[in-house]
């Protein structure tokens, strides 16, 4: 299908094992959707459905992510580089994408320099109750150029949905089960502008569970979404505007407790 590529076994078993080992070394964050200032004004805060981690650059939810053409400043905080296994896979993905997308669908300078690591599973409540939060609502990836997605663990039902009335049963343009070790690449107008996408649900069939250090969450699927942000829009923490720096400082401090990279970012920032 033009503009859409799916490979069910893109990640080798050896590479999968290396990724899983790396996952055990990180400390994902539970992020809040709003800044503390916004939460006070609105009378409450809302936490994201799932813990996350970012590589390349960190787009904090409270900074409202990267949303060109207007939402480009103070949105992307320089993050840790890819571990070797992901760097190797990204090089292969970029080669595939450049062979498939041209012209306006392949921006000049495009390279997959940002990765959102999404954890899907169940939130563990008081008393051990588990609440399934393994889903993502309809949205667009606004970063320019093709997007790539690697999935590990339980399969997920991923859908492209036409913009329009939510009650229209014909809104679903394409459905794809994303299997363990799979790669999905999509780009072009049909998949990035004429549709939005969502994760409707994640299976529990295989009993998959990942050893990821995050409090109050049981992970059964991990997704790596790779995108492109123009390099000039990615700033070290110390170079953020004063307000943005203050809004995310608590997150950077939390990351710094387990990440040398973020500890160095914090050490070089204004107090």
Q: Is the pLDDT of residue 233 over 90?
A: yes
pLDDT of res. 126:
84
Q: Is the pLDDT of residue 165 over 70?
A: no
The mean of the pLDDT values for the chain is: 95
CA distance 151 to 8: 9
Q: What is the pLDDT of residues 68-110, one digit of tens each?
A: 999 999 999 999 999 999 999 999 999 999 999 999 999 999 9
Mean pLDDT value of segment 51-78: 97
Q: Is the pLDDT of residue 253 over 90?
A: yes
Residue 270 binned pLDDT confidence (cut-offs 50, 70, 90): confident
Q: Which of 88, 55, 76, 49 is nearest to 221 (CA)?
A: 49
Q: Is the pLDDT of residue 196 over 70?
A: yes
CA distance 227 to 192: 12
Residue 156 binned pLDDT confidence (cut-offs 50, 70, 90): very high
Mean pLDDT value of segment 138-166: 93
Mean pLDDT value of segment 118-143: 93
pLDDT of res. 108:
95
Q: Is the pLDDT of residue 254 over 70?
A: yes
The share of the chain scoring above pLDDT 70, in percent, equals 98
Contact indicator for 58, 81 with CB cutoff of 8 Å: no
Question: How many residues belong to the chain?
Answer: 271
Least confident interval from 26-30, 124-128, 167-171: 167-171
Mean pLDDT value of segment 252-262: 96
Mean pLDDT value of segment 247-255: 97
Mean pLDDT value of segment 36-55: 93
pLDDT of res. 167:
65
3-state helix, strand, coil split of the chain in percent (to 5) is 30, 30, 40
pLDDT of res. 264:
94
Indicate the fold that domain 4-267 takes in CATH: Jelly Rolls (2.60.120)
Q: Is the pLDDT of residue 6 over 70?
A: yes
| Half-sphere exposure in the Cβ direction for 145 (13 Å, CA) | 21
pLDDT of res. 268:
78
pLDDT of res. 271:
60
């Amino acid at each position: 299908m033009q503009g859409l590529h799916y490979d069910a076994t893109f990640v080798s078993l050896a590479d999968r094992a290396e990724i899983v080992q790396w996952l055990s070394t990180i400390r994902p964050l539970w992020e809040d959707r709003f800044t503390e200032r916004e939460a006070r004004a609105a009378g409450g805060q809302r936490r994201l459905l799932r813990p996350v981690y970012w590589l390349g650059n960190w787009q904090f939810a409270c900074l409202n992510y990267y949303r060109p053409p207007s939402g480009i400043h103070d949105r992307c905080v320089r993050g840790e580089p890819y571990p070797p296994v992901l760097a190797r896979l990204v090089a292969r993905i970029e080669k595939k994408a450049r062979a498939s997308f041209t012209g306006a669908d392949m921006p000049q300078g495009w390279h997959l320099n940002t990765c959102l690591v999404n954890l899907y599973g169940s939130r563990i409540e008081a008393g051990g109750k588990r609440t399934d939060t393994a889903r993502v609502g309809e949205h667009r990836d606004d970063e320019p150029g093709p997007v790539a997605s690697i999935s590990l663990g339980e399969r997920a039902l991923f859908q492209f949905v036409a913009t329009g009335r939510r009650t229209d049963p014909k809104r679903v343009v394409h459905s794809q089960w994303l299997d363990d070790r799979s790669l999905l690449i999509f780009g072009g107008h049909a998949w990035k502008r004429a549709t939005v996408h969502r994760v409707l649900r994640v299976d529990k069939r295989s009993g998959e569970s990942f050893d990821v250090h995050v409090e109050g969450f049981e992970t059964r699927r991990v997704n790596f979404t790779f995108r492109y942000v123009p390099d000039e829009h990615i700033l070290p923490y110390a170079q953020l505007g004063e307000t943005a720096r203050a809004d995310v400082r608590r997150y950077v401090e939390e990351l710094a407790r387990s990440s040398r990279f973020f500890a160095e970012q914090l050490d070089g920032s204004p107090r």
